[in-house]
């Protein structure tokens, strides 16, 4: 699925303040390598239904074995192994025995301590990987897990490695420590780094599995389809502590969702919830919904947080226009797209905004290969668009009780005409401050 940096930013897949990102919400990795591989995964949605379903199977299987997952593989363990290959240590005999090992321990005490420390951590690492192989060996694995487990088992099936895994690290003799340390350093370097790389993949996917299990995400049904569609029940935004859920359906017969509502009523949150769930579905992940069925989308584009560019001398409105232009050019390829637009044409006066918005909506709604979710503060254009059968109208209701704003965050059919800007201005005391000037 195609996605650009603007869309990733709009949906907060990644964020400068990491705690506000979807990545942070899903990150339960235990190692630096796992964390970076998770970041890679989340930046690269999958390009086929086959890959998506295989990834879903991987995550389901990891959920099933999560309780048995080894705890001996830690970030510290991997760091010790990696730094061992970078460290300068005095050479010791390639054929250790009791005598030369004892001499090395006495006369090269700091280096001996480093070798011993590394061997102890290597034993923990290898035992943990063997445990992963054992718990997954009897299962019907996804294609990618078959490749990882098979390769891991092959790399572990070395006589010296098998011997190490059956040792009690607390009772190792100096001769054993130097024997194992020499093997790791001189004969197992590339294999060690490959095992770390494979474990990083397990760590990243187990992180996703933990998140799906912890938050109760469901795996969507996704299929190849000539016509795009989304049907979702109980959808919510994963970053909210107390979210309100939505039910929506978009098909080619009703491919345009026209969304209205007052400021802070929930329009942007809804649009982002739709975008995030579709994006996660194309990563092979579970989604924050009770049930979701969708077609495979070739691309996802958003127009949510457009900004001006002072250096280039480009206004907010100009960049809005350019974003719409680029969107139209991209989605004219006949492939299936999901397009998200929040508050179209905020950067110009109302008369221009109305005319531009109607022109754009009337054009976009004719596209038979794309689904659209568009919010606007220009509720008055809704009546002009009601003649189009493929446009569905929804709004977020807001009420006022004793000068207090009440947001239900419930998605309802129809068009909102709420105008609450002045009430908010007065409620926050701005009007009083101005009157006192």
Token match 């239904």: residue?
49
Q: With a cut of 90, say whether residue 175 has pLDDT above it.
A: yes
Secondary structure of 303-338 in the HEC alphabet? ECCCCCECCCCECHHHHHHHHHHHHHHHHCCCCCEE
Q: With a cut of 70, say whether residue 377 has pLDDT above it.
A: yes
Task: Report the SS3 class of residue 248.
Answer: strand
Do the two domains 31-215 and 221-435 of this chain adopt the same fold? no
Average pLDDT in the chain: 91
CB 191 within 8 A of CB 165: no
Q: What is the pLDDT of residues 138-148, one digit of tens each?
A: 788 999 999 99
pLDDT of residue 310: 39
pLDDT of residue 192: 97
CB 303 within 8 A of CB 323: yes
Q: State how far the alpha carbon of 4 is from the alpha carbons of 274, 326, 398, in Å.
A: 17, 12, 34
Segments making up each domain of the chain, as ranges: 31-215, 221-435
Q: With a cut of 70, say whether residue 43 has pLDDT above it.
A: yes
Question: Residue 424: pLDDT band by 50, 70, 90 thresholds?
Answer: low
> Stretch 353-365: mean pLDDT, rounded?
92
CB 101 within 8 A of CB 174: yes
Spatial separation of the C-alpha atoms in residues 19 and 25, rounded to whole Å: 7
Q: Report phi then psi at 97, rounded to 5.
A: -135, 180
Question: Residue 64: pLDDT band by 50, 70, 90 thresholds?
Answer: very high
> Stretch 205-210: mean pLDDT, rounded?
97
pLDDT of residue 407: 78
> Stretch 278-296: mean pLDDT, rounded?
98
Q: Report phi then psi at 140, rounded to 5.
A: -85, 105
Among 135, 30, 128, residue whose Cα is nearest residue 70: 128
pLDDT of residue 311: 38
Spatial separation of the C-alpha atoms in residues 276 and 11, rounded to whole Å: 6
pLDDT of residue 265: 76
Q: Rounded to an integer, what is the distance from CA 108 to the centroid of its chain?
A: 48
> Stretch 101-107: mean pLDDT, rounded?
95
Spatial separation of the C-alpha atoms in residues 6 and 175, rounded to whole Å: 58
> Stretch 362-382: mean pLDDT, rounded?
92
pLDDT of residue 409: 85
Which CATH number among 1.10.3470, 2.20.180, 1.10.10, 1.10.1420 corresponds to the domain 31-215?
Answer: 1.10.1420
Weakest-pLDDT range from 75-89, 112-126, 340-354, 377-391: 340-354
Q: What is the pLDDT of residues 6-26, one digit of tens each?
A: 999 999 999 888 888 999 999
**DSSP secondary structure string, 166-200?**
TS-GGG--HHHHHHHHHHHHHHSHHHHHHHHHHHH
Question: Residue 276: pLDDT band by 50, 70, 90 thresholds?
Answer: very high
Helix, strand, coil % (nearest 5) of the chain? 50, 15, 35
pLDDT of residue 403: 66
pLDDT of residue 241: 86
Spatial separation of the C-alpha atoms in residues 427 and 431, rounded to whole Å: 8
CB 194 within 8 A of CB 161: no
pLDDT of residue 297: 98
Domain boundaries 221-435, CATH class: alpha beta
Q: State how far the alpha carbon of 251 is from the alpha carbons of 183, 227, 406, in Å.
A: 61, 8, 32
> Stretch 328-351: mean pLDDT, rounded?
89
More confident residue, 416 or 59: 59
């Amino acid at each position: 699925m195609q996605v650009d940096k603007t869309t990733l930013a709009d949906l907060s897949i990644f964020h400068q303040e990491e705690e506000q990102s979807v990545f942070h919400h899903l990150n339960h990795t235990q190692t630096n390598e796992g964390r970076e591989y998770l970041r890679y995964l989340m930046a690269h949605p999958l390009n086929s239904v086959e890959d998506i379903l295989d990834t879903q199977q991987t995550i389901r299987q990891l959920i099933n074995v999560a309780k048995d997952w080894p705890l001996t593989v830690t970030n510290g363990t991997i760091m010790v192994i990696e730094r061992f290959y970078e460290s300068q240590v005095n050479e010791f005999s390639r054929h250790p025995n009791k005598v030369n090992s004892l001499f090395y321990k006495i006369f090269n005490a700091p280096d001996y301590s480093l070798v011993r420390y590394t061997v102890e951590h290597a034993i923990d690492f290898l035992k943990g990987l063997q445990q992963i192989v054992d718990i997954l060996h009897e299962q019907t694995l996804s294609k990618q897990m078959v490749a990882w487990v098979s390769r891991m088992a092959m790399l572990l099936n070395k006589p010296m490695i098998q011997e190490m895994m059956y040792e009690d690290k607390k009772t190792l003799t100096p001769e054993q420590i130097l024997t194992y340390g020499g093997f790791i350093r001189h004969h197992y370097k590339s294999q060690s780094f490959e095992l770390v790389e494979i474990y990083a993949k397990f760590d990243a996917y187990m992180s996703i599995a933990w998140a799906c299990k912890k938050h109760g995400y469901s795996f969507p049904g996704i299929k190849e389809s000539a016509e795009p569609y989304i049907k979702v029940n109980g959808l919510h935004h994963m970053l909210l502590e107390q979210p309100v859920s939505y039910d929506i359906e978009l098909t080619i017969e009703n491919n345009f969702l026209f969304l209205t509502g007052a400021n802070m009523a929930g329009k942007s949150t809804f649009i982002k919830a739709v975008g995030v769930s579709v994006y996660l579905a194309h990563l092979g992940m579970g989604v924050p919904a009770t049930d979701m069925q969708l077609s495979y989308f070739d691309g996802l584009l958003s127009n949510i947080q457009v900004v001006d560019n002072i250096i280039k001398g480009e206004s907010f409105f100009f960049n809005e226009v350019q974003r719409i232009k680029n969107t139209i050019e991209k989605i004219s390829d006949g492939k299936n797209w999901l397009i998200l637009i929040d508050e179209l044409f905020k950067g110009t006066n109302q008369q221009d905004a109305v005319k531009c918005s109607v022109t754009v909506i009337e054009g976009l709604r004719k596209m038979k290969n794309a689904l659209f979710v568009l919010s606007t503060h220009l509720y008055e254009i809704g009546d002009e668009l009601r003649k189009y059968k493929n446009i569905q109208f929804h709004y977020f209701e807001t009420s006022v009780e004793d000068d207090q704003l009440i947001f239900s965050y419930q998605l309802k059919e129809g068009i909102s005409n709420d105008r609450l800007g002045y009430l908010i201005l007065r409620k926050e005391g701005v009007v009083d401050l101005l009157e006192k000037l």
